[in-house]
Amino acid sequence: MLLRHTPKEIKQRKALTINPAKTCQPIGAMYAALGIHSCLPHSHGSQGCCAYHRSTLTRHYKEPVMAATSSFTEGASVFGGQANLVQAIDNIFTIYEPEVIAVHTTCLSETIGDDIPQIARKAEAEGKIPRGKYVIHVNTPSYVGTHVTGFSGMTKAMVDYFSKSNGKKLDQFNIIPGYVEPSDMEEIKRIAEVMGVRTVMFPDTSRVLNRPQTGKYDMFPKGGATVQALMSTGDSLATIALGRMASGAAARALDTKCKVPCEILDLPIGFKATDRFVDTLRKTAGINVPDSLSEERGQLMDIVTDMHQYFYGTKVALAGDPDQLISLTEFLVSIDMWPIHIVTGTVSKDFATRIREITKGVPHQVNVSTPGDMFLLHQWIKNDPVDLLIGNTYMKYIARDEDIPLVRFGFPILDRIGHSYFPTLGYRGGMRLLEKILDATLDRKDRDSPEESFELVM
């Protein structure tokens, strides 16, 4: 349904969210679990919940997302899901033979109060968990948090269950990539490899949700962080966490548990955030930045120099996750674009403060809301129109109603492909992001130009 009846008059809403700029916790937990090699995510709740989580990820990545469920019936809903989960663990290890079952809870199992660690111990005592196999868990009720907090919780669970220290440091660094695309995880690893830094990335969905088509189906692709690699993270020299909301909890837990010092950075989108990431790698590893990375940065700068006339003064409305929006806003401001309406559905206590610091030089009133929804964003746009929208697929309705170009960015993107194969992080990712912004901007310019201004070369 299009949003043509969205009123221009803004009224205070405390108990009603309309068109939320988020999805639920289990989706993020399931996505993180897919970043463990030979892991089967397990939804402890009804079949309907699991089907929704799987379908959302499948539609975004255009890949078959496998997950199991405890398949609650009326009996489990009343008396608890212990018997269902014990039976599920036995069936999964017997039939599918994963190395890890990653359990996340749902609204129903959380409301009942199922104790997942106790149920796992019962399954182990009954011989349902084979030697050398693992069951991990995270509590993810959908009535609180978002996909970002679900991802954060499952990533922290990897530390809680697997990370250990043998007291002998390894020549490697941990990287927690944040809630980003598989392509972005590949780009982060590539930058580290170019710099000669050995890393353990977790979770790692590259070559899992962007795997090549071979004509053969593998339930457990080659990608993902192995259990052995996860266990070794406690002996790494340091941890670099990208994205404070999605990665900070796991980095701090690893520091507390295994005394691995951590640096928590913004996602490396654009110049400044990527510079900070590269410089942190340089300082932490005690190395120099190779010329190839400096050349990539120079190419990104060249695009901005050549096309600055189309960036300058462009008013933008953004919706998405806090970690992404902070770095994206910083990037846009650095090239003289004006992000003026910004909403996230994830509660973040520092988000509004960070955004206002970044946009303090923007010569226009800036609206920020956390948590906010796309209904509010639409109302802001009606009162103060923008030139460009950046956000997920659900923003296409606002784009159509208000006749504004849309650059798809974030999660979920259900109606386009490419995001899982082409990064928007790092200097190379910044080039692609600018290409998408320019394409949207110049396509609109061509559409609206009169004959005498319909130019062959911009």
**Residue 367 pLDDT > 80:** yes
Domain count, the chain: 3
Residue 47 inside a domain? The answer is: yes
Residue 16 inside a domain? The answer is: no
Give the per-residue pLDDT at 3.
64
Are 204 and 214 spatial neighbours (Cβ–Cβ below 8 Å)?
no
Residues 164-187 have a mean pLDDT of 97
**Residue 185 pLDDT > 60:** yes
Nearest partner of 206 among 182, 181, 226, judged by Cα = 182
> Are 286 and 307 part of one and the same domain?
no
> Are 432 and 304 part of one and the same domain?
yes
Residue 6 inside a domain? The answer is: no
Give the per-residue pLDDT at 457.
81
Residues 394-408 have a mean pLDDT of 97
Helix (H), strand (E) counts: the chain: 17, 13
> Are 262 and 338 part of one and the same domain?
no
Residues in the chain: 458
> Are 432 and 381 part of one and the same domain?
yes
Give the per-residue pLDDT at 74.
83
Give the per-residue pLDDT at 336.
98
Going by pLDDT thresholds of 50, 70 and 90, the confidence category of residue 77 is confident
Residues 371-380 have a mean pLDDT of 96
Give the per-residue pLDDT at 73.
87
Give the per-residue pLDDT at 15.
87
Give the per-residue pLDDT at 320.
98
For the entire predicted model, the pTM comes to 0.97
Mean pLDDT (the chain, rounded)? 96
Query: What's the Cα-to-Cα distance from 150 to each of 30, 154, 156, 317, rounded to whole Å?
Result: 8, 6, 10, 26
Residue 2 inside a domain? The answer is: no
> Are 267 and 361 part of one and the same domain?
no
Q: Put the strands of the sheet holding 238-242 in their side by side order.
A: 199-201, 173-176, 238-242, 262-265
> Are 304 and 424 part of one and the same domain?
yes
Give the per-residue pLDDT at 248.
98
Work out the percent of the chain whose per-residue pLDDT is above 70.
99
The residue to which tokens 């669970």 are assigned: 157
> Are 325 and 445 part of one and the same domain?
yes
Each residue's pLDDT tens digit, 82-104: 999 999 999 999 999 999 999 99
Are 232 and 171 spatial neighbours (Cβ–Cβ below 8 Å)?
no
Residue 8 inside a domain? The answer is: no
**Residue 417 pLDDT > 60:** yes
> Are 308 and 434 part of one and the same domain?
yes
The span from the CA of 44 to the CA of 50, in Å, is 8
Residue 15 inside a domain? The answer is: no
**Residue 1 pLDDT > 60:** no
**Residue 5 pLDDT > 90:** no
Answer with the one of 267, 290, 313 that is the final residue of a domain.
Answer: 290
171: three-class secondary structure by DSSP: coil
CA 456 to chain centre: 39
Going by pLDDT thresholds of 50, 70 and 90, the confidence category of residue 75 is confident
Residues 343-364 have a mean pLDDT of 96
The span from the CA of 167 to the CA of 170, in Å, is 10
Query: What's the Cα-to-Cα distance from 122 to each of 140, 272, 275, rounded to whole Å?
Result: 21, 50, 49
Each residue's pLDDT tens digit, 262-309: 999 999 999 999 999 999 999 999 999 999 999 999 999 999 999 999
**Residue 2 pLDDT > 60:** no
Are 39 and 12 spatial neighbours (Cβ–Cβ below 8 Å)?
no
Among 136-150, 156-170, 380-394, 444-458, the minimum mean pLDDT is found in 444-458
Domain that holds residue 180: 173-290
Residue 356 inside a domain? The answer is: yes
Q: Which letter, b or e, does each residue of 52-68 get, where b requires 16 or more Cβ atoms within 10 Å of its Cβ?
A: bbbebbeebbebebbbb
> Are 307 and 438 part of one and the same domain?
yes
Work out the percent of the chain whose per-residue pLDDT is above 90.
94
Each residue's pLDDT tens digit, 201-258: 999 999 999 999 999 988 999 999 999 999 999 999 999 999 999 999 999 999 999 9
Residue 167 inside a domain? The answer is: no
Answer with the one of 232, 265, 290 that is the final residue of a domain.
Answer: 290
- Phi and psi at residue 359, to the nearest 5°: -100, 10
Give the per-residue pLDDT at 445.
95
Answer with the one of 251, 274, 290 that is the final residue of a domain.
Answer: 290
Residues 67-88 have a mean pLDDT of 90
> Are 73 and 211 part of one and the same domain?
no
For position 313, which CATH number holds?
3.40.50.1980
> Are 277 and 306 part of one and the same domain?
no
> Are 309 and 388 part of one and the same domain?
yes
